[in-house]
Amino acid sequence: MDTTRIGKRGTFVIPVKLRQRFNIKEGDLFLAEEREDGILLRPAVAMPVEIYTPERKAEFFLNNAVSKEDYDAACEEIRAMGLDPAKIPHTEDVSRDALPSRAEMNQQWEAIRKKLSKRTESSRRHA
């Protein structure tokens, strides 16, 4: 066990053996937690946070549209933000004309459900 001293601003030096053992480097972050028997120091992780610009949010809206109605709603939202949807760069394959209508999507989902239902019935009969 090594002894260390508290500096003027509350700083203290972690002995070199412990820094090497726990791979502690200058600038690393720690959480200081009060305990009954003292202070517990634990490594902390800081994750950078991206602050989205209105243009980036508009791009998300357009890229996540799955139907013509979704795309139209995204465009309305973008206009409400004071932006022109036509000037927002977004994924090439997301254009209103290429998207199905909500009714067409519902038909596609219904066909998928029927197909899955037939497979389930078939597997039950063979079991």
What tens digit of pLDDT does each residue of 103-121 get? 998 999 999 998 898 877 7
pLDDT tens-digit series, residues 9-43: 989 899 999 999 999 999 999 999 999 999 999 98
Binned at pLDDT 50, 70 and 90, residue 52 comes out as: very high
Query: Across the strands, what pairs with 111?
Result: none
Ordered alpha helix ranges (H), the chain: 16-21, 54-63, 68-80, 102-126
What's the whole-number average pLDDT of the chain? 88
Contact predicate 115/86, CB 8 Å: no
| Class of residue 124 by CB neighbours under 10 A (exposed 0-12, middle 13-18, buried 19+) | exposed
pTM of the model: 0.50
Class of domain 1-47: mainly beta
The full set of domain ranges for the chain reads 1-47, 54-126
